[in-house]
Structure 1
Amino acid sequence: MKAPRKPIHAVSTWVRRQPPKIRAFLAVISGMAALVFLRMIVNDHDNLFVAAESIHAIGICVLIYKLTKEKTCAGLSLKSQELTAMFLAVRLYCSFVMEYDIHTILDSATFGTTLWVIYMIRFQLKSSYMDDKDNFPIYLVVIPCVLLSLVIHPSTQHHILNRIFWAFCVYLEAVSVLPQLRVMQNTKIVEPFTAHYVFALGVARFLSCAHWVLQVLDTRGRLLTALGYGLWPSMVLLSEIVQTFILADFCYYYVKSLVGGQLVLRLPSGVV
């Protein structure tokens, strides 16, 4: 006699058996339901953006624990950390010259810890770095981001160079996690602390995306004109959505693994 399956396991099994289009539709519906829920419980939607940056910082803290306690950087992408440091450095510059606020302080802390992670991977724990697995060509994301920022950037009163820099960091942030996903795709097995870190990135991306979407809804589109004119406002929203969907599939398997009591996450082919 078969033991009854847990409801969550039954639902995840049913979802996994659906065609890709159905799964994409279900993901969109789930995202919309989550947005409605956040709109009901969060009064100040700016708190979502602060929460997103805070969760990103927590993810970095998980990496620090992994590097200091386990003395290994196996499964981590140095290239993703370098891309993260790059867009944070540009964003910090833009924050200092354009709008110094609480986000600048949070970004400064995240930037400092990211530099420390890079140092540990490059020098202290170099022997455990999977150089052969971390093979995503970063020029494939940096060059398009540069070209896109030259063409589509804010139309505010700030200096043109600062506006281009701001657009560049928005675009680069959206795709900075791709090398990390390539590493996980190559290894197929993700150890717990790396999985926790990437899941934290996924949650942070979703909260950031929710912040922008809800702000647009609450202002009935007026926020879009406040960001500038032309294609830039749409590109900001698109970048947030891209960040969320890049990590959505991984987060699904992370939660499924967590519910199933598995400490090590095993990814099916084609997940990331």
Structure 2
Amino acid sequence: VVFLALSYATVYLIYMRFRNTYDSENDTFRVEFLLVPVIGLSFLENYSFTPVEILWTFSIFLEAVAIMPQLFMITKTGEAESITTHYLFCLGLYRALYLFNWIWRYYFEGFFDMIAIVA
């Protein structure tokens, strides 16, 4: 319940409160180039062909490429605000901690998740 409430609050803040900060002139990234392959991979590469498993696989693959639009805009404009660089740093740190988690779980539990590692 908390996760859903925070997700809705985030969407509200993005589309209502901070609408005037949107830079439509530089936001030219074609998100279809990310979504179509991710949707295809989530149907092809999953552990069982159930809706929950397909959606979980979709979220794992989407999370792996979610940074691409931000990086595209930064390279296009040639500048990044301080908050953007902090966000990108935290996102990179998050993925690095994921890597350490996979190593830890494989070493101590013998757990190996090929979908998460490939993503």
Question: TM-score when scaled to structure 1?
Answer: 0.40
Contact 2:42 2:58 in 1 (8 A): yes
Contact 1:213 1:237 in 2 (8 A): no
User: Is the partner of 2:111 in helix, strand or coil?
Assistant: helix
Contact 1:134 1:180 in 2 (8 A): no
- Counterparts in 2 of 1:91-110, with a 5 A limit? 108=3
Change (3 A) 1:132 1:115: farther
**CA–CA separation in structure 2 for the residues paired with 1:236 and 1:128:** 34
Partner of 1:188: 78
Partner of 1:175: 65
- Counterparts in 2 of 1:1-272, with a 5 A limit? 108=3, 112=6, 114-155=7-48, 160-219=50-109, 222-224=110-112, 233-239=113-119
Post-superposition CA distance 1:162-213 (Å, at most 9, x none) = 1111111111111111111111111211111121112111111110121012
Contact 2:35 2:62 in 1 (8 A): yes
Cα distance, 1:161 vs structure 2: 1.5
Partner of 1:30: none
Post-superposition CA distance 1:126-150 (Å, at most 9, x none) = 3331112122111111111111111
What are the ranges of 5 or more consecutive residues in structure 1 without an aligned counterpart?
1-103, 225-232, 240-272
- Aligned-partner residue type, residue 119 of structure 1: Y
What are the ranges of 5 or more consecutive residues in structure 2 without an aligned counterpart?
none
Q: May I ask how many residue pairs the two structures share in their alignment? A: 119
Question: TM-score when scaled to structure 2?
Answer: 0.84
Cα distance, 1:123 vs structure 2: 2.8
RMSD: 2.3
User: Is the partner of 1:190 in helix, strand or coil?
Assistant: coil
Runs of 4+ in 1 over 4 A off after TM superposition: none
Percent of aligned positions that are identical: 25
- Aligned-partner residue type, residue 114 of structure 2: S
User: Is the partner of 2:29 in helix, strand or coil?
Assistant: coil
**CA–CA separation in structure 1 for the residues paired with 2:105 and 2:56:** 20
Post-superposition CA distance 1:79-104 (Å, at most 9, x none) = xxxxxxxxxxxxxxxxxxxxxxxxx9
- The higher radius of gyration belongs to 1
